[in-house]
Amino acid sequence: MAVAASQGATRDRVGLGWRGELAAGIVSNLARIDVLEVIADDYYRASRTGIAALCSLARQVPVSLHGVGMGLASTIPADPRRLHAMARLMKEVQAESWSEHLSFVRAGGVEIGHLAAPPRTPRSVAGAIANIALATRIVGCAPLMENIATLLQPPASTLDEAEWVAQIIHGAQVPLLLDLHNLYANAVNAGESPQELLLRLPLDRVGAVHLSGGHWIDAPGGGQRLLDDHLHDVPPEVFALLTVLARQAPQPLTVIVERDGNYPSFEHVLGQLELARAALRAGRNT
């Protein structure tokens, strides 16, 4: 099975999610950014000028495309139009890899507008594997598949998160895009150990990592839950998980820092990338 992830990379890399608000800082600091991740859905219907700008960017720095709307972890077959759009974009941009989420985003013809966690069952495992196979055939290479954040354990689940993710990753034979803040939030919201959850995942299949931040919100009935919002700095606990991951996972890892709002100075953003590099080094050197 063709896998485009990390083509040509032989060392760990740290980069940033492309956002319009960060564009000026990114373009001025490409020497300090190893790789960029671009939201593919923003370019499916882009103008020729927009595609040309993205192609120009991809000639200057490795670019991966990140899908958010396919809903591949579903018992409903994925929409071929979105997969063909990704295939066209991959070809035009010559991106080095693409990725999607282990989520569903529509049901009964209704777009949810959110990455939703399906029940973790053998049926949803089979649906995800079938959709990933369809996506791989149409796009021409396999996606990295990302774990998502959930405030609650998906109802009607018969598998826990680590079992469910591992069965899909091994069954579909694809790399895991491991979002460490999603993992951290899910574990603390469920009253579990983030490190124990991390070590139960198929770490030998991790090809890329997402880092972000969140904030605590009041939960119905009392207590608090951690919301992954991409509006805050990566917390120290998540950098610590990256160090643990770097002790276990094979080289190379591609680490992407995500920021979707509440933007600090670009020097501060670059500081987050340096903290990620330090966490990686700490894990590789122990």
Of 155, 150, 157, 231, the residue nearest 188 (C-alpha): 150
Q: How far apart are CA 154 and CA 177, in angstroms?
A: 20
Query: What's residue 68's pLDDT?
Result: 95
Per residue in 79-111, pLDDT (tens digit) is: 999 999 999 999 999 999 999 999 999 888 888
Query: What's residue 113's pLDDT?
Result: 83
Q: How far apart are CA 209 and CA 246, in angstroms?
A: 11
Sole residue written with tokens 């495992």? 125
Assess whether pLDDT exceeds 80 at residue 3.
no
Q: Can you tell me the mean pLDDT for 49-64?
A: 97
Q: How far apart are CA 165 and CA 103, in angstroms?
A: 11
Per residue in 247-263, pLDDT (tens digit) is: 999 989 999 999 999 99
Assess whether pLDDT exceeds 50 at residue 2.
no
DSSP β-bridge partners for residue 255: 14, 209
113 SS3 class: strand
| Strand extents, DSSP E, the chain | 13-17, 36-39, 63-66, 97-101, 104-107, 110-116, 144-146, 176-179, 206-211, 214-218, 224-228, 254-257
Q: pTM score, two decimals?
A: 0.95
Q: Can you tell me the mean pLDDT for 190-217?
A: 97
Query: What's residue 135's pLDDT?
Result: 98
Q: Cα Rg for the chain, rounded, in angstroms? A: 18
Q: Can you tell me the mean pLDDT for 125-148?
A: 98
Q: How far apart are CA 280 and CA 270, in angstroms?
A: 15
Q: How many CB atoms lie within 10 A of CB 128?
A: 29
Average per-residue pLDDT for the chain: 95
Of 196, 211, 208, the residue nearest 276 (C-alpha): 211
| pLDDT > 70 fraction of the chain, expressed in percent and rounded | 97
**How many residues belong to the chain?**
286
Q: Can you tell me the mean pLDDT for 149-172?
A: 96
Please give the residue that has the higher pLDDT: either 108 or 70: 70
Assess whether pLDDT exceeds 90 at residue 246.
yes
The pLDDT-based confidence of 8 (bands split at 50, 70, 90) is low
Judge if the upstream peptide bond of residue 252 is cis by omega within 30 degrees of 0: yes
Pair 123, 168: CB distance under 8 Å? no
Of 237, 284, 234, 236, the residue nearest 256 (C-alpha): 234
Buried b (16+ CB within 10 A) or exposed e, 53-90: ebeebbeebbbbbbbbbbbbbbbeebeeebbebbbebb
Q: Can you tell me the mean pLDDT for 47-51?
A: 97
Q: Which two tokens stand for residue 90?
A: 């991959």
DSSP β-bridge partners for residue 52: none
The H or E element containing residue 54 is: helix 48-60
